[in-house]
Structure 1
């Protein structure tokens, strides 16, 4: 026979209404009482019927996750499992479930979001990307539906809740790192220019070059998807130039792995011949040969903060707009060095 709230209340020596409030994590219940009731729930093997509770409260206690339209990127790039882990932990801490879109094209993604919202399947939505043009955001705003973006919105960011890094600053600082090593032929290998994260990192790269009086070469900028193959293709393009770069800012660790693979095939040594800095600092960066200097953007925290912020908005419609900037740090490893013709200036 299934264990009920009344069974839990009897063993915990509290009222059934107290058990219900503990399940809802009500602030009206003391932490001591919550702990006692939860211990009894575990002891008796009681699991709340969230479906029944949702019908009664008109709440699904579920968060919708909107993925990028390119499934290759989602399932190949380590960024997404890490950010999903953060989202999952943030949602689980407030007893919310996750509901993921499964479309392969932008139209399918949009239709999936409409189905989630109009079908009452979720209480709010997290977008795991930020695009220059995105009708999903326009739709959610039109319906006044709770949502949070992982990434800085391209438009109306002051009126949109989001969680992001300062990608402009990060792009600028990694480029300055290479300039300080003596490089003045620095390439940028980025993702799709429809993604705001690519635009922000590219602008930071360009700003660092201008500040240092280094001429910006359009041929040194290559953009594609955040995939290993994209990094390989970019290297072929860049090293075919009359004056190939001596250093590369690569906007993603998976792309950087492709860069390393192609350079190794071509017999070009890192960092002796070419220096590389990358972004995300996933396990790939540490295990690459040589290990990559990479920007740690705290991917887990991006997901955790997004889930936490969205739940606050769901549970309090008067919650102010949230603009959370997660700090980053450059993790220096062995993929950067001085250019071959570097001569130290003695002061």
Structure 2
């Protein structure tokens, strides 16, 4: 996935401070040496970042004295002057298996005049990236939120300014952005049903976040509950376990998962539906270290079908999301929103998922 060069992270951070007023006209910027130390980069990288800011007319440089915020700053974003560039904001720089988002977006953009710019919030932070984007000349934004409840203030400003904006993977609480998501509800329903059809009666759900933090996690949790309800397998003791471990907030992840594994074994739980593949794979690895076997001691189903899911031992049964189609549909919806805002349907896009059967579910 197209990682952002280190100097661009620095450019974004300093640009955000300038455009927000944290750095005012005439203020002196950090020196190349100070930037190198703060961001742990070479002097060449810090020098290039300052050169980029100078080329953008955001700063001016005085030999022997340093760099200063310019008195003539670029004007705020104007729709009629917007570039033909789409901004994709991601919460990660590289995530194996999710690169098809970018591939799908570029496949659609190939038939248009638009190009793709990718930025991640791993250094600068989501809120600052959004603030800078709102003042930019980008034609529109495809946004992968950290959660459904983060940075609501700046996101609502994007909504009020009618900035062409599409969310991907999850929605934003209370703000009617168009979204492109997987069918998370059906995916978790399929995962739970698969365990039930293999005679599992006690099935737990585990998540890395509370369900209210993410619309996608919430839909997966509800899909899991609906399958248990439909097959009359609601069990209060299992519910108690799921509620206890619905949020991963322990600083020591290993100890957290050890306690979870011990709890499900004590409660006679034989099946687990996980929020994502990363959690499932970590549980499998820790189970091995404890002398346990998947699926002999318990069965588990992941969600995402990342590349690693087919290489771990045992190979992970999981729900496959079509990341390429999600990216394609997000780009398609955004370009329609940009070019024909009054004709754009306000219906969100839900992309189907499918169960991938491998080796981590045992028939009882």
Instruction: Give me the TM-score of the superposition, normalised by structure 2.
Output: 0.68
Please say if residues 130 and 155 of structure 2, whose CA atoms lie closer than 8 Å, have aligned partners that are also in contact. no
**1:153 maps to which residue?**
171
- Does residue 184 in structure 1 map to residue 201 in structure 2? yes
**2:262 maps to which residue?**
240
Distance 1:126 1:76, change over 3 A: closer
Distance 1:56 1:220, change over 3 A: closer
Instruction: After superposition, give the CA deviation of every residue in 1:37-60 in whole Å (9 maximum; x if it has no partner).
Output: xxxxxxxxxxxxxxxxxx996231
**1:62 maps to which residue?**
85
How far apart in 1 are the matches of 2:246 and 2:234? 21
SS of 1:164 mapped into structure 2: strand
How far apart in 2 are the matches of 1:164 and 1:172? 16
Instruction: Give me the TM-score of the superposition, normalised by structure 1.
Output: 0.71
- Which range is displaced more, 206-215 or 286-295? 206-215
Q: How does 1:48-197 map to 2 (within 5 A)?
A: 58-68=81-91, 74-75=92-93, 77-104=95-122, 108-120=125-137, 122-129=138-145, 131-134=147-150, 135=152, 136-153=154-171, 155=173, 159-193=176-210, 194-197=213-216
CA drift of 1:147 comes to 0.7
CA drift of 1:214 comes to 2.6
Q: How does 1:304-315 map to 2 (within 5 A)?
A: 304-315=328-339
CA drift of 1:155 comes to 4.2
Please say if residues 170 and 214 of structure 2, whose CA atoms lie closer than 8 Å, have aligned partners that are also in contact. no
Distance 1:93 1:322, change over 3 A: farther
Equivalent residue for 1:214, pick from 210, 217, 234: 234
Question: What are structure 2's unaligned runs of at least 5 residues?
Answer: 1-77
Please say if residues 142 and 331 of structure 2, whose CA atoms lie closer than 8 Å, have aligned partners that are also in contact. yes
How far apart in 2 are the matches of 1:152 and 1:89? 22
What number of residue pairs does the alignment pair up? Answer: 275
- Which range is displaced more, 92-101 or 174-183? 92-101
How far apart in 1 are the matches of 2:146 and 2:121? 17
Distance 1:95 1:287, change over 3 A: farther
Please say if residues 280 and 299 of structure 1, whose CA atoms lie closer than 8 Å, have aligned partners that are also in contact. no
RMSD, aligned CA: 2.8
SS of 2:99 mapped into structure 1: helix
How far apart in 1 are the matches of 2:197 and 2:330? 35
**1:337 maps to which residue?**
362
Distance 1:235 1:108, change over 3 A: closer
Please say if residues 184 and 214 of structure 1, whose CA atoms lie closer than 8 Å, have aligned partners that are also in contact. no
**1:21 maps to which residue?**
none
Distance 1:96 1:133, change over 3 A: same
Please say if residues 238 and 245 of structure 1, whose CA atoms lie closer than 8 Å, have aligned partners that are also in contact. no
- Which range is displaced more, 133-142 or 267-276? 133-142
- Does residue 285 in structure 1 map to residue 300 in structure 2? no
Please say if residues 261 and 287 of structure 2, whose CA atoms lie closer than 8 Å, have aligned partners that are also in contact. no
SS of 1:80 mapped into structure 2: coil
Please say if residues 192 and 224 of structure 2, whose CA atoms lie closer than 8 Å, have aligned partners that are also in contact. yes
SS of 2:318 mapped into structure 1: strand
**1:203 maps to which residue?**
222
Question: What are structure 1's unaligned runs of at least 5 residues?
Answer: 1-54, 69-73, 340-347
CA drift of 1:101 comes to 3.6
